[in-house]
A and B are shown apart, each in its own frame.
Chain A
Amino acid sequence: KAGVTQTPRYLIKTRGQQVTLSCSPISGHRSVSWYQQTPGQGLQFLFEYFSETQRNKGNFPGRFSGRQFSNSRSEMNVSTLELGDSALYLCASSSRGGEYNEQFFGPGTRLTVL
């Protein structure tokens, strides 16, 4: 089985722009979660989608949004980029989601905001 894939792997944007990141989960997985990783804040949960519905949401401003398509692929959008949004964005998929379901992580998209 192919693993979780994320595109693009690297991205450079300027303040005020918006960005869309993509995640393709492992085949058959219906839950996709997004995490932000920064040196200062560590790994923080953004949101989880399951069967095209947002099921859980972390404590991030409304500039961060996401969606999931019928094939379980997910996109994350950040509008009006700020310097502090520079981070590694990780996507993880699991078969059902939930607290004891193992999550499989992609390699991440490294976003740099100038």
Chain B
Amino acid sequence: AQSVTQLDSQVPVFEEAPVELRCNYSSSVSVYLFWYVQYPNQGLQLLLKYLSGSTLVKGINGFEAEFNKSQTSFHLRKPSVHISDTAEYFCAVSANNLFFGTGTRLTVIP
């Protein structure tokens, strides 16, 4: 069975500060991991994905994530956030369909 745990429901951070959004997964099959972002009144947009290969994955808007198999984690990071990064972020694991975490609301404070 597949599941995703996002440990923080809300993360406030000051503009230009670094941020880490945590994600842990469990999967009984091959692991394909994704991070999506959702802005208000919009659908989901893919930030980045891990399918195989390098464990450090770079995505759009300056985000990156590191796949850690031993810790079953896929944390999302950005070294310096902007106001425009305020949104809801979802970690997901794929096994024919996507299993999502409960989301982390990132609020960037000016």
Q: B28 in the interface, Cβ–Cβ < 8 Å?
A: no
Q: A58 in the interface, Cβ–Cβ < 8 Å?
A: yes
Interface of A is mostly: strand
Whether the pair A56, B42 counts as a contact (CB closer than 8 A) is no
Q: Which of B10-18, B43-51, B65-73 contacts A (4 or more CB under 8 A)?
A: B43-51
Whether the pair A105, B43 counts as a contact (CB closer than 8 A) is yes
Whether the pair A108, B43 counts as a contact (CB closer than 8 A) is yes
Q: How far is the CB of A84 from chain B (nearest CB, A)?
A: 18
Interface of B is mostly: strand
**B51 / chain A contacts, CB cutoff of 8 Å:** 100
A interface bracket (residues with beta carbon within 8 Å of B): 20 to 34
User: Of the candidates B43, B94, B103, which one forms a contact with A4 in the assembled complex, judged by CB atoms under 8 Å apart?
Assistant: B43
- The CA of A35 and the CA of B49, in the complex, are separated in Å by 19
B interface bracket (residues with beta carbon within 8 Å of A): 20 to 34
Q: How far is the CB of B60 from chain A (nearest CB, A)?
A: 12
Q: Considering the complex, which residues of chain A in the window 78-114 have a beta carbon less than 8 Å from any beta carbon of chain B?
A: 90, 92, 97-100, 102-108
Whether the pair B100, A105 counts as a contact (CB closer than 8 A) is no
- The CA of A104 and the CA of B44, in the complex, are separated in Å by 8
**Do A103 and B98 form a contact, CB below 8 Å, given A42-B103, A43-B90?**
yes
Q: B99 in the interface, Cβ–Cβ < 8 Å?
A: yes
- The CA of A41 and the CA of B44, in the complex, are separated in Å by 17
Some 29 contacts from A to B, beta carbons below 8 A apart, are A4-B43, A33-B97, A33-B98, A35-B98, A35-B100, A42-B100, A42-B102, A43-B90, A43-B98, A43-B103, A44-B100, A45-B97, A45-B98, A48-B96, A48-B97, A58-B97, A90-B43, A90-B44, A92-B43, A92-B98, A99-B32, A99-B95, A100-B32, A100-B94, A102-B46, A103-B98, A104-B46, A107-B42, A108-B43
Binding site for A on B (CB under 8 A): 29-30, 32, 34, 36, 41-46, 49, 51, 90, 94-103
